[in-house]
Amino acid sequence: MSGRFITMEGGEGAGKSTMMDRVADWLAGSGHRVIRTREPGGTELAEQLRDMLLDRDNLLLSEKAELLLMFAARAQHLDELIRPALARGDWVLCDRFTDATWAYQGGGRRLPAEDIAALESLVHGDLQPDLTLLLDLPVEQGLQRASNRSRADRFELESNGFFQRVRNAYLERAAAFPERFAVIDAAPGVDQVWAQIRLVLEERLTS
Amino acid sequence: MSGRFITMEGGEGAGKSTMMDRVADWLAGSGHRVIRTREPGGTELAEQLRDMLLDRDNLLLSEKAELLLMFAARAQHLDELIRPALARGDWVLCDRFTDATWAYQGGGRRLPAEDIAALESLVHGDLQPDLTLLLDLPVEQGLQRASNRSRADRFELESNGFFQRVRNAYLERAAAFPERFAVIDAAPGVDQVWAQIRLVLEERLTS
C-alpha cells in the first residue's frame, strides 16, 4: 500500500493555514495517518534553508541561488520525509511544493521555465502530488488579509506586479494539469471555502 | 578588459593551500589584482552553505540535496563575487570549483553524470576556468599527509575507495579537457611542486 500526496498552494493571505488544519482533520477522520509538512522546510536541514530563503536581510541572495536552494531543500524533504512516509502508506499533506516554485520563481521572478523544468525533473521526475488544492484570490484582497500579520518575509516585500504574476502562473499550472489541480475560490468566508474543498476531497479521494 | 579565472583542484593532503599562496603571490607580482576565494563558499551566504555541507553531524543530508547545495553555493559565489570580479578585470584564484563536484559527487558518490552536467549548464554554461591546476597524488600519500590535521569534516570521513574514485574522476576530467587542465605531480617537496606550477603559469598566462 502506498499513501497519497496532497499539496496546498496559493498566494499571500489565501488562508492556507486554516484550510491545512481542516484538511488534516478530515483526512485523519477518514482513517488515514497524516503527515503534515511544509515547503521550503519540513526537515531540520531544509528548515535551515527556509530561514535563509525567507530572511529579508539576505539582500544579496541571487535569483539563481534562490531557485537552487528551493530545490536543495525539496530534495532533502523528499528523501528524508515525503518518500519514506508515502512508502509506508502515510498520507502527506504539504503546504506548498513545486507549483509554488513555478509561481514565485517562474512567474514572480520570471526565471526561465527550462531551468525550473530541469530541476523538477532532476529532483522528482518520478513523483507528483496526487491532488493539489489551489486557493485562488484576487491579489489586492490577499495582500489586505496578509497585512494584518507580523513582519513580512523576503517574498512578502515584493510588489503588486510580482504577486499578480504569481497568481497568473498558479492559474496557468492549474489549467495545464486539470486532473491534479482543484482551483478553490478563496474569497468567501472560511466555511464556504472549506465546503468547496470538502467536496473535492470526497469526489477525488474516496473513490 | 576581462580578468582570468584560475582554479586549483586536488584530493586530501595534496597541498592546495600552500600552492594557492604561491600562485597568488606570483600573480600579484605579475601586476594583476587577485581575488583569492574558495568553494564551497567564498561569500557570506555561500559560506553558510559550506558549513552545512562540511558539518560531519549532518548525517541525514541526502546525496541529491548535497549536489544541489553545492550548485546553490556556486551560483551565489558566481553572481556575487566571481563574475563581477572578472568583469572589472581582476584575476580570480579559486580553491576548488565544478571539477571538484565531478570528482566528489560524481566519482566519489557515483551521482549520475547527466545530473551534474545539467546543473553545470544551468549555473555556468557560459563560463569555465581559463586554467585548472590539478595537484595529483596517490590516495594513501594524501591521506597520510591530511591525517596530521584537525578534526575531519564530512567528506574526510569517507573510505579509501571513495578517495580513489575521486582521484580517478579528477584525472578523467583532466584528460577530457587538456587545454584547460595542467596535472601537477604533488608527490615531491613544496619547491619542486611549485617549480612545475610556475612553469605552467609562465607558459599559459604570459602569452
| pLDDT tens-place string over residues B109-167 | 999 999 999 999 999 999 999 999 999 999 999 988 888 777 788 888 888 999 999 99
SS3 A174: helix
Measured between alpha carbons, how far is residue A148 from residues A12, A145, A151 in Å? 11, 6, 9
Residues in chain A: 207
- Interface contact flag, A64 B122, Cβ < 8 Å: yes
Task: Give residue A103's Cα distance to chain centre.
Answer: 10
pLDDT tens for residues A13-63? 899 999 999 999 999 999 999 999 999 999 999 999 999 999 999 999 999
Strand partners, A35: A92
Q: Where are the beta strands (DSSP E) in chain B?
A: 5-10, 34-38, 91-95, 131-136, 181-185
What's the pLDDT score for residue A207? 62
Q: At B1, is the pLDDT very low, low, confident or very high (cuts 50, 70, 90)?
A: low
- How many Cβ atoms sit within 10 Å of the Cβ of residue A118? 18
What's the pLDDT score for residue B189? 95
* Mean pLDDT along residues A137-149: 88
Which of the two residues, B152 and B67, has the higher pLDDT score?
B67
Measured between alpha carbons, how far is residue A74 from residues A78, A202, B3, B202 in Å? 6, 29, 36, 46
* Mean pLDDT along residues A127-146: 95
Q: At A149, is the pLDDT very low, low, confident or very high (cuts 50, 70, 90)?
A: confident
pLDDT higher than 80, residue B95: yes
What's the pLDDT score for residue A1? 56
Q: Which of B53, B64, B109 to mutate to test the interface with A (most CBs of A within 10 A)?
A: B64
* Mean pLDDT along residues B30-58: 96
- Interface contact flag, A64 B75, Cβ < 8 Å: yes
Q: Supply the DSSP symbol for A9.
A: E
What's the pLDDT score for residue B203? 95
Residue of A nearest to B76 (CA): A65
What's the pLDDT score for residue A152? 83
- pTM comes to 0.95
- Interface contact flag, B75 A68, Cβ < 8 Å: yes
- Interface contact flag, A61 B76, Cβ < 8 Å: yes
**Residue bearing cell 482543484:** A182
Measured between alpha carbons, how far is residue B120 from residues A122, B114, B115, B124 in Å? 13, 10, 9, 6
What's the pLDDT score for residue A27? 96
What's the pLDDT score for residue B15? 93
Task: Give residue B103's Cα distance to chain centre.
Answer: 10
Mean pLDDT of chain A: 95
What's the pLDDT score for residue B79? 98
What's the pLDDT score for residue B146? 84
Cα–Cα dist A133/A40, whole Å: 17
Which of the two residues, B145 and B2, has the higher pLDDT score?
B145
Cα–Cα dist A51/A62, whole Å: 15
Quote the minimal CA–CA distance from A69 to chain B in Å.
Answer: 6
* Mean pLDDT along residues B7-26: 95
| Percentage of chain B exceeding pLDDT 90 | 86
Mean pLDDT of chain B: 95
Q: Looking at this predicted complex, what is its ipTM?
A: 0.94
* Mean pLDDT along residues A113-132: 97
